[in-house]
Structure 1
Amino acid sequence: MFVSSRSFVVNQRIECDVCVIGAGPVGVAVADRLSRSSLNVIVLESGGLEQSAEADALAMPEQNAHIGNIDQFQFTRQFGGNANAWLVRTDTSSRGVRLISPTAGDIAARPHIEDSGWPILHDEMTPYVDDALSYFGLPPNGFSPEGWRKADCADIETGDARVDTAVFQFGDAREFVIGKKEKLAKDANVRFILNATVTDLDVSESDDHVTTVHYKSAEGDLFNVVARHVVIAAGGIGSVQILLNSTTRNPNGIGNTYDNVGRYFIDHPLIDGGDLVPFDRTSFERFEFYDMRLVDDVPILGHFKISDQALAAEHLASMSCMIFPREDDWRRNQHLSPRQNRGFMASLLLREQILRRQFPTPRETFDAIVGIDGIVKRLLDSRRRPKANLGRGGWSKQREHYGAFDRFHVLQIAEQFPHRENRVYLSQEKDRFGVRRVAIDWKWHDDDIAATVESQKAFAAMFASAGIGRYEIKSDNGVPSLVSSSTCHYMGTVRMSDDPRKGVVDANCRVHGIDNLYVATSGVMPTGGYANPTLLAVAFGLRVVDRIVQASQSVDLGEQRSVAG
Structure 2
Amino acid sequence: MIVDLQSIATAEKFEAEVCIVGAGAAGIPLALELAAKGVGVVLLEGGAVGYDNATQALYEGTLAGHDNTDLVYSRLRQFGGTTQHWTGMCAPLDEIDFEARACNGNIEWPFARSALDAFYARAHDYLELGEYRYSTEQWEGLLAGDPLPLPGALLDHGFYQQSPPTRFADAYLGDIEKARTIRCLINANVTDIVLGESGDMVDHVTVGALSGTTATVKAKKFVLACGGIENARLLLNADSQRPAGLGNENDLVGRHFMDHLHIEASQIALSDSRRDLGYYRQVTDTSSLLIGLKVQAALMRRQNLLNNTAFFTIVWKDQAQNDDFRDHAWLSFSALAKTFARGEVPDRFAERVCNVAESPGSVITGLSRHIRRRISEGGEIDDVLLWQDAEQAPNPDSRVLLNADRDALGLRRTTLDWRILPADLESLRRTHEIIGRAFGEAGLGRLRIGLPEDGDLSGIYTAYHHMGTTRMHTDPRRGVVDGDGRMHTVPNLYIAGSSVFPTGGAANPTLTIVALAIRMADHLAETLAL
Are residues 187 and 335 of structure 1, via their aligned partners in 2, closer, same or farther at CA, if it must alter by over 3 Å? closer
Which one-letter code corresponds to 2:479 in the other structure? G
Indicate whether 1:141 and 2:132 are aligned.
Answer: yes
Superposed displacement of residue 192, structure 1: 0.9
Indicate whether 1:520 and 2:496 are aligned.
Answer: yes
Are residues 497 and 487 of structure 1, via their aligned partners in 2, closer, same or farther at CA, if it must alter by over 3 Å? same
Counterpart residue number, 1:448: 424
Are residues 384 and 119 of structure 1, via their aligned partners in 2, closer, same or farther at CA, if it must alter by over 3 Å? same
Alignment of 1:16-27 (within 5 A): 16-27=16-27
Superposed displacement of residue 6, structure 1: 5.8
Q: Which one is further off, 171-180 or 208-217?
A: 171-180
Q: Which one is further off, 295-304 or 257-266?
A: 295-304
Counterpart residue number, 1:131: 122
SS in structure 2 at match of 1:475 = coil
Give distance in 2, aligned partners of 1:371 and 1:179: 33
Counterpart residue number, 1:267: 259
Q: Cα deviation per residue 1:411-432 (whole Å; 9 max; x = unaligned)?
A: 1221110110000011111111
Pick from 192, 195, 198 the counterpart of residue 187 of structure 2: 195
SS in structure 2 at match of 1:25 = coil
Counterpart residue number, 1:84: 84
Which one-letter code corresponds to 1:298 in the other structure? S
Indicate whether 1:438 and 2:428 are aligned.
Answer: no
Counterpart residue number, 1:495: 471
Q: Which one is further off, 145-154 or 33-42?
A: 145-154
Give distance in 2, aligned partners of 1:17 and 1:402: 58
Q: Which one is further off, 136-145 or 473-482?
A: 473-482
Indicate whether 1:294 and 2:283 are aligned.
Answer: yes
Are residues 236 and 245 of structure 1, via their aligned partners in 2, closer, same or farther at CA, if it must alter by over 3 Å? same
Indicate whether 1:107 and 2:107 are aligned.
Answer: no
Superposed displacement of residue 328, structure 1: 4.0
Instruction: Tell me if structure 2 keeps the 8 A contact 1:24–1:82.
Output: yes
Which one-letter code corresponds to 1:143 in the other structure? Y
Give distance in 2, aligned partners of 1:294 and 1:123: 27
Are residues 51 and 345 of structure 1, via their aligned partners in 2, closer, same or farther at CA, if it must alter by over 3 Å? closer
Q: TM-score, normalised by structure 1?
A: 0.85
Indicate whether 1:358 and 2:348 are aligned.
Answer: yes
SS in structure 2 at match of 1:450 = helix
Which one-letter code corresponds to 1:309 in the other structure? A
Are residues 73 and 8 of structure 1, via their aligned partners in 2, closer, same or farther at CA, if it must alter by over 3 Å? closer
Counterpart residue number, 1:120: 111
What's the C-alpha RMSD, in Å, of the aligned pairs? Answer: 2.8
Superposed displacement of residue 210, structure 1: 0.7
Counterpart residue number, 1:558: none
Instruction: Tell me if structure 1 keeps the 8 A contact 2:68–2:461.
Output: yes
Give distance in 1, aligned partners of 2:358 and 2:132: 48
SS in structure 2 at match of 1:320 = coil
Alignment of 1:383-398 (within 5 A): 383-384=371-372
Counterpart residue number, 2:343: none
SS in structure 2 at match of 1:159 = coil
Superposed displacement of residue 490, structure 1: 0.3
Are residues 61 and 113 of structure 1, via their aligned partners in 2, closer, same or farther at CA, if it must alter by over 3 Å? same
Give distance in 1, aligned partners of 2:43 and 2:386: 42
Superposed displacement of residue 71, structure 1: 4.2
Q: Cα deviation per residue 1:381-405 (whole Å; 9 max; x = unaligned)?
A: 555468xxxxxxxxxxx9x824243
Give distance in 1, aligned partners of 2:6 and 2:267: 57
Give distance in 2, aligned partners of 1:480 and 1:402: 34
Superposed displacement of residue 346, structure 1: 5.2
Which one-letter code corresponds to 2:155 in the other structure? V
Q: Percent identity?
A: 28
Superposed displacement of residue 361, structure 1: 4.8
Instruction: Tell me if structure 1 keeps the 8 A contact 2:317–2:380.
Output: no
Q: Which one is further off, 525-534 or 460-469?
A: 460-469
Instruction: Tell me if structure 2 keeps the 8 A contact 1:267–1:490.
Output: yes
Superposed displacement of residue 218, structure 1: 3.3
SS in structure 2 at match of 1:505 = coil
Which one-letter code corresponds to 2:498 in the other structure? S
Are residues 11 and 66 of structure 1, via their aligned partners in 2, closer, same or farther at CA, if it must alter by over 3 Å? farther
Are residues 151 and 307 of structure 1, via their aligned partners in 2, closer, same or farther at CA, if it must alter by over 3 Å? closer
Counterpart residue number, 1:45: 45
Counterpart residue number, 1:410: 386
Indicate whether 1:177 and 2:169 are aligned.
Answer: yes
Give distance in 2, aligned partners of 1:57 and 1:22: 16
Give distance in 2, aligned partners of 1:187 and 1:202: 28
Counterpart residue number, 1:98: 89
Instruction: Tell me if structure 2 keeps the 8 A contact 1:270–1:482.
Output: no
Which one-letter code corresponds to 1:319 in the other structure? N
Q: For structure 1, which runs of at least 5 residues remain unmatched after alignment? A: 89-96, 387-397, 555-565
Instruction: Tell me if structure 1 keeps the 8 A contact 2:330–2:366.
Output: no
Give distance in 2, aligned partners of 1:36 and 1:147: 31
Instruction: Tell me if structure 2 keeps the 8 A contact 1:66–1:72.
Output: no
Counterpart residue number, 1:315: 304
Indicate whether 1:465 and 2:441 are aligned.
Answer: yes
Q: Which one is further off, 259-268 or 122-131?
A: 122-131
SS in structure 1 at match of 2:263 = strand
Are residues 51 and 110 of structure 1, via their aligned partners in 2, closer, same or farther at CA, if it must alter by over 3 Å? same
Are residues 351 and 406 of structure 1, via their aligned partners in 2, closer, same or farther at CA, if it must alter by over 3 Å? closer
Give distance in 2, aligned partners of 1:185 and 1:100: 30
Give distance in 2, aligned partners of 1:447 and 1:68: 19
Give distance in 2, aligned partners of 1:377 and 1:410: 23
Q: Cα deviation per residue 1:195-229 (whole Å; 9 max; x = unaligned)?
A: 11111200123332111111102312221000001
Give distance in 1, aligned partners of 2:11 and 2:106: 43
Superposed displacement of residue 70, structure 1: 2.7
Which one-letter code corresponds to 1:290 in the other structure? Y
Are residues 525 and 174 of structure 1, via their aligned partners in 2, closer, same or farther at CA, if it must alter by over 3 Å? closer
Instruction: Tell me if structure 1 keeps the 8 A contact 2:261–2:462.
Output: yes
